[in-house]
Amino acid sequence: EADIYQTPRYLVIGTGKKITLECSQTMGHDKMYWYQQDPGMELHLIHYSYGVNSTEKGDLSSESTVSRIRTEHFPLTLESARPSHTSQYLCASSEGSGVGGYTFGSGTRLTVV
Amino acid sequence: KNQVEQSPQSLIILEGKNCTLQCNYTVSPFSNLRWYKQDTGRGPVSLTIMTFSENTKSNGRYTATLDADTKQSSLHITASQLSDSASYICVVSDRGSTLGRLYFGRGTQLTVWP
């Protein structure tokens, strides 16, 4: 019974296309995050948000952009996809203190051909 | 540099056996340590979370321990099942920033054979 939803689960797209990865949570969490994960590697934070109209870049440089117009929604956009963007993208959200629940979505596996 | 190191990188055990996964960290100041299970192609799912004052936490057949003095944690899996095959990730949070930054290990890939 996932409380954080990501769509699509899998996406294969051609180089140069614009894509948006969707992430929604129903827990009312203020903090939301996007991570990038390559096979066998650790998760890297690429974007985070403290709340509506708040977005920041994470540790790993990314050509993607994010927006936070509503508390429950945190989409990630790539204006022009490239093969180097091929990866798994994980969305997460947490309670205000960060000590409690920290929930991940099921991820979007993106392949750019 | 804050780091989380996990060992072994991969492990194969037979169904019904026990195993222990290790996590060493250098994150400071320490806030909490979490263990996650990540099935292939899925997002991580929380198993346990421990703060500085806790040295053990159980969740069914999973038991995590924490030694904050030596900055070590372990995850013990009892009576393994085929469904335990997954990557187990150690995640440490610091309390030195408003974000409560998370530091991720690369995970231990566990395979349980019948």
- In this predicted model, what pLDDT tens digit does every residue of A9-52 receive, in sequence order? 999 999 999 999 999 999 989 899 999 999 888 899 999 998 99
CA distance A108 to chain B (A): 9
Which residue in A99, A20, A74, A95 sits closest to B32, CA to CA?
A99
Residue B94 is predicted with a pLDDT of: 82
Cα B33 to chain center, whole Å? 8
Contact A104, A91 (CB under 8 A): yes
Q: How far is CA A3 from CA A32, A75, B45, in A?
A: 13, 16, 12
Is the pLDDT at B99 greater than 80? The verdict is no
Nearest to B104 among A43, A50, A103 (CB): A43
Residues A72-99 have pLDDT tens digits of 999 999 999 999 999 999 999 987 665 5
Burial group, residue A1, by CB count within 10 angstroms (0-12, 13-18, 19+): exposed
CA distance B43 to chain A (A): 4
Residues A14-23 have pLDDT tens digits of 999 999 999 9
Nearest to A106 among B43, B99, B105 (CB): B43
Token pair of B72 as six digits = 């070590």
Is the pLDDT at A58 greater than 70? The verdict is yes
Residues B65-98 have pLDDT tens digits of 999 999 999 999 999 999 999 999 999 988 765 5
CA atoms within 13 A on the CB side of B22: 8
